[in-house]
Amino acid sequence: MTGDLFAPLTHPEAGTETIAPGAVLLRGFACAEAPALLSGIEAVAAAAPFRHMVTPGGQTMSVAMTCCGSLGWVTDRRGYRYQATDPASGAPWPSLPPAFAAVATAAAEAGGYPGFAPDACLINRYAPGARMGLHQDRDEQDFTQPIVSVSLGLPAVFLFGGPKRNDPARRIPLVQGDVVVWGGPSRLFFHGVAPLRAGHHPAADPLRYNLTFRRAGLSCPS
C-alpha cells in the first residue's frame, strides 16, 4: 500500500494557508506518509491501548487516546499533566515511530519552526459523534515550541479560535494528510474539533485519527 492510493481522495488542493499569526495549514503534507503513520498507530496501540480518559471534573472524554514518546499526556481526577509512564500499565510509553518524528519535524520546518524535536505525541481516535471542546495546549514547559497536528482517516472540522475562549473560532475542514502547525503568537490559541460526522475512508473506516506532536519537556536540545 502506498501514499498514491490516498492522493486523489484526500487533498484535492495542496498548498500552504496562513490561518492566524504563526499558524499555517499544510494541505496534503503528510499524504504520502499516511500508510506508515497508520501502521505506527497500530504498533503504539498494541503496547499502550486506546482509552477514554476522565477529566479532573469527572467527565469521560468522547475521544479515545493513547500516547508515544518519552512523555505522555494524562488527565484524571488529579489534573492534567505529562508523565513518562502509562498509568494503565506502569510501563514507559512506546517510542515515537520513525515516521512520526520525521513528519513532525518536516511539517514544523515547513510551517516556519525549524529544529522542532517532539518528545510527546498524543494520538486521538475519533468515532462518529466524538468531539474535542475548545481548549489551550498549556501543560508544556516551553511555549516557544509549536504544536504539530496531523489528520488521518475521516474528514473533520477543526475549530481554531483566539487567545480567549469566547473568541470566534474559524471552522477549517481537514482531510487525511492535512497538517496544522501553530506557535509563536498563536501558540496558546483555543482550538478543538467539531463532532465527527459518520463517513467512509478506505484506510481508517469508520474512524479519524489525529497525531498531535509537542515538545512537552524543557527546551529542545541543541
When divided into structural domains, the chain yields a total of: 1
Please give the C-alpha separations between residue 209 and each of 46, 129, 166, 193, 202, in angstroms, as whole numbers: 15, 14, 27, 12, 13
Strand spans (E) along 154-197: 156-160, 170-174, 179-182, 191-193
Asked if residue 145 is part of any domain, the answer here is yes
Q: Note the pTM of the prediction, 2 decimals.
A: 0.91
What cell was used for 124? 486521538
Is the C-alpha dihedral spanning 43, 44, 48, 54 positive or negative?
Answer: negative
Give the whole-angstrom CA distance, residue 81 versus residue 73: 6
140 part of a folded domain: yes
Q: What pLDDT was estimated at residue 126?
A: 98
Instruction: Tell me which residue range forms the domain holding 11.
Output: 3-214
**Residue 222 falls within a domain, yes or no?**
no
Answer yes or no: is 108 within a domain. yes
189 DSSP 8-state letter: -
Residue 48 lies in a domain: yes
10-residue stretch averages of pLDDT, the chain, 222 residues long: 31 78 98 97 98 96 98 95 97 98 98 97 98 97 96 98 97 98 98 96 93 83 39
SS3 128: coil
* pLDDT score of 205: 86
Helices (H), ranges, the chain: 7-10, 34-47, 98-110
Task: Tell me if 36 is assigned to some domain.
Answer: yes
CATH of residue 83's domain is 2.60.120.590
**Domain-located, residue 20:** yes
Give φ, ψ of 98 to 5 degrees: -55, -40
Backbone angles phi, psi at 184, to 5 degrees: 55, -125
Helix/strand/coil (H/E/C) assignment for every residue in 81-125: EEECECCCCCCECCCCCHHHHHHHHHHHHHCCCCCCCCCEEEEEE
Q: Does some domain include residue 220? A: no
